């Protein structure tokens, strides 16, 4: 690969993970610039980065601009993407602002890498939950077709930013302490709409059409766009759980043509970006604690519905900060410079 000058915009959890992934995947970086709202110095895995204040002139000489889209940097891509494009950079945006625009490709490289060629200066990174779901479903769609998808996501606190991770820790510590006899606690800095420690709640995003949240609608609309099929019937429930990092998904599908669970396992075992862990008799299946820091999507618990023809269940887990955000963005950048 030829070297590229790269800018990372945002130094929240996703921005820091982008820096980590660029280094770990040995991305051929020529010059690296890191931007945020203000000048500062950060340290990631022992390496120091000089963070510069972002302005309209920041992108001169930059080939690829990775916008983290993290809390505290929302709106940065909307404000500065035109400046980056004007300077000659290709923008890869992790935020939601451009995902559903018809002139912006929404890309998961294992699924629709060819769409990258359609870009007009901006490529959108999908929602974290969408990414891991379509990686698992795409091989099945190609082999047997998809009629229906019903998904319940169990999303980690880090998906909501550092404030949610801090709230989880604070609430867990309070409840676990001998001094706290009441399971209902109040974090000093509350980021979530409900208590997260020792609790789950079905509320991610804001409630919109038909009392679904916008996070739930993202799974529907983004999947249709990525898989180029808006006839798939998709319904979702998104749930916040007391896990630090790693989203889990319970996915029910109905295929258009019959396919046995054993064939699905064989199909996914050789699919790019997927690791199959499916040995329930020995209590082996994907779990968030085991996938943190990894780039693949992990799939298990593949089984048929004994009551519905062509019905199948899957259990899908991935690191939401890596494959669900930073890694997917860097993979798009890798495709760009091939």
Please state, as a whole number, how many other Cβ atoms lie within 10 Å of the Cβ of residue 194: 11
Eight-state DSSP code of residue 120 = S
Which residues is 276 bridged to in the sheet?
A: 299
**Maximum separation of any 2 CA atoms in the chain, in Å:** 61
Q: Is the dihedral of CA 325, 331, 335, 336 positive or negative?
A: positive
Is 128 noted as a catalytic residue in this protein? yes
Of the residues 119, 128, 203, 228, only one is catalytic, namely: 128
Q: Which among 35, 82, 88 is positioned nearest to 58, based on CA atoms?
A: 35
Helix or strand or coil: residue 35?
A: strand
Establish how many alpha carbons lie within 13 A of residue 136's alpha carbon, considering only the half-sphere containing its beta carbon. Answer: 33
Question: How far is 69 from 313, CA to CA, in rounded Å?
Answer: 32
Q: Are 185 and 93 in contact (CB under 8 A)?
A: no
* Cα–Cα separations (whole angstroms), residue 62 to 15, 40, 67, 186, 197: 17, 21, 13, 45, 42
Residues 6+ apart with CB under 8 A from 208: 214, 217
Residue 311: exposure state from Cβ atoms within 10 A (0-12, 13-18, ≥19): middle
Is 180 noted as a catalytic residue in this protein? no
Of the residues 119, 180, 228, 247, only one is catalytic, namely: 247
Q: Which among 60, 125, 57, 141 is positioned nearest to 336, based on CA atoms?
A: 125
How is 268-290 classified by DSSP, letter by letter? HHTSTTEEE--BGGGTB---HHH
Helix or strand or coil: residue 235?
A: strand
Question: How far is 80 from 60, CA to CA, in rounded Å?
Answer: 12
Catalytically annotated residues: 128, 247
């Amino acid at each position: 690969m030829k070297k590229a000058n790269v800018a990372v915009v945002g130094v929240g959890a996703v921005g820091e993970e982008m820096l980590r992934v660029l280094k770990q995947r040995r991305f051929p970086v020529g010059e690296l610039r890191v931007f945020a709202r203000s000048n500062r110095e950060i340290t990631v895995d022992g390496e120091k980065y000089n963070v510069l204040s972002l302005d309209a002139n920041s992108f001169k000489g930059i080939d690829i601009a990775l916008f983290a889209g993290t809390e505290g940097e929302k709106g940065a891509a909307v404000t500065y993407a035109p400046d980056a494009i004007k300077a000659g950079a290709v923008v890869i945006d992790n935020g939601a602002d451009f995902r559903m625009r018809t002139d912006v490709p929404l890309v998961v490289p294992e699924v629709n890498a060819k769409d990258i060629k359609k870009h007009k200066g901006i490529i959108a990174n999908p929602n974290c939950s969408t990414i891991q779901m379509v990686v698992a479903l795409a091989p099945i769609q190609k082999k047997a077709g998809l009629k229906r998808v019903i998904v319940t996501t169990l999303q980690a606190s880090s998906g909501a930013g550092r404030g949610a991770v801090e709230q989880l820790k604070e609430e867990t510590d309070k409840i676990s302490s001998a001094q706290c006899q009441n399971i209902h606690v109040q974090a000093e800095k509350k980021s979530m709409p409900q208590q997260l420690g020792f609790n789950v709640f079905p509320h991610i995003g804001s409630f919109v059409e038909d009392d679904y949240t916008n996070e739930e609608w993202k799974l529907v609309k983004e999947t249709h766009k990525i898989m180029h099929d808006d006839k798939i019937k998709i319904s979702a429930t998104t749930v916040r759980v007391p896990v630090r990092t790693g989203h889990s998904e319970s996915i029910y599908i109905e295929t258009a043509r019959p396919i046995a669970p054993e064939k699905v396992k064989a199909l996914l075992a050789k699919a790019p970006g997927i690791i199959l862990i499916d040995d329930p008799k020995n209590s082996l299946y994907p779990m968030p604690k085991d996938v943190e820091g990894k780039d693949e999507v992990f799939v298990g618990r593949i089984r048929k519905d004994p009551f519905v023809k062509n019905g199948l269940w899957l259990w899908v887990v991935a690191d939401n900060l890596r494959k669900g955000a930073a890694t997917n963005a860097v993979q798009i950048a890798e495709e760009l410079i091939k």
